[in-house]
């Protein structure tokens, strides 16, 4: 049974949003939120040093409506230097969506199908409800290494608690030792599980992929810890959190 956000949780969300806005102003950056998936695709496709737009967040391949999509662009002196997108799906089993390819593109049925080779541990993952899929993370090459993605990517994740009444946040990431450390560190995910190897539907080729995911309670736990470091009036959760690692320089090469 889904639980509604509490007033305390909504207050934590707003406190975090205000903190990120303050940091953006200190850096003279402008934050823009939009629910137009077509505008997101158009923006990312013309940027340099990207891997393009995944079918997961592309309305040409997935059934995406404005009430289930949100993306953020960060501008510096009028120039877009960072972006990230999230999409909401409602499901009783995220792994079933992976096996059937639906999470990777559900706009039309296909006569073609490739088996998805799940890792054994992936069969035990239970994620259901209002699931937010993150992706499309990109930072302009001149701005990489400034911690932009770590700061602003978390903002969308937290906003989704209020905007979409998030139950889980998930993202598909290449499965390497370094990237698993990044996921559990500066990416801020408490869970990173090998998901699949072999055919990866969005790219149409073989890839080794892990699933990073967090429940609403896990996201809020980490937000409370982060806020408490600068504001003792915010109650810390009893759930332990990882200390963030220094973020690696990256474009949209991590989240698939």
- Do the domain assignments include residue 104? yes
Q: Where does 64-191 have alpha helices with state H?
A: 94-99, 148-163, 177-184
pLDDT of res. 249:
39
Distance of alpha carbon 163 from alpha carbon 225, whole angstroms: 22
Phi–psi pair at 207, nearest 5 degrees: -160, 150
- Do the domain assignments include residue 95? yes
Domain of 182?
A: 7-230
CB 86 within 8 A of CB 160: yes
**Helix and strand numbers, DSSP H then E, in the chain:** 6, 10
Instruction: Please say if the pLDDT value at position 239 is more than 60.
Output: no
- Do the domain assignments include residue 254? no
- Do the domain assignments include residue 237? no
CB 54 within 8 A of CB 202: yes
Q: Give the chain's domain count.
A: 1
pLDDT of res. 232:
56
Domain of residue 94, CATH code: 3.40.630.30
pLDDT of res. 2:
66
- Do the domain assignments include residue 256? no
pTM of the model: 0.89
């Amino acid at each position: 049974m889904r639980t509604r956000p509490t007033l305390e949780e909504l207050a934590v969300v707003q406190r975090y949003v205000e903190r990120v806005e303050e940091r953006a102003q200190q850096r003279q950056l402008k934050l823009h939120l939009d629910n137009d998936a077509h505008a997101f695709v158009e923006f990312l496709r013309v940027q340099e040093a990207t891997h393009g737009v995944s079918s997961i967040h592309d309305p040409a391949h997935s059934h995406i409506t404005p009430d289930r999509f949100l993306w953020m662009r960060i501008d510096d002196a009028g120039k877009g230097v960072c972006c990230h997108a999230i999409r909401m799906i409602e499901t009783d089993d995220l792994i079933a969506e992976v096996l059937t390819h639906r999470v990777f593109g559900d706009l039309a049925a296909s006569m073609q199908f490739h088996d998805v080779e799940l890792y054994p541990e992936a069969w035990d993952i239970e994620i259901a409800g209002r699931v937010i899929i993150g992706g499309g993370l990109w930072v302009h090459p001149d701005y990489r290494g400034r911690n932009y993605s770590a700061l602003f990517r978390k903002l969308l994740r937290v906003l989704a608690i209020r905007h979409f009444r998030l139950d889980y946040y998930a993202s598909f990431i290449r499965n390497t030792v370094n990237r698993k450390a990044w996921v559990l560190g500066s990416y801020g995910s408490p869970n990173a599980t090998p998901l699949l190897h072999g055919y990866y539907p969005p790219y149409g080729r073989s890839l080794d992929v892990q699933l990073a995911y967090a429940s609403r309670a896990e996201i809020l736990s980490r937000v409370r810890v982060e806020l408490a470091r600068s504001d003792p009036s915010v109650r810390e959760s009893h759930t332990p959190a990882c200390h963030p690692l220094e973020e690696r320089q990256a474009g949209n090469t991590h989240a698939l």
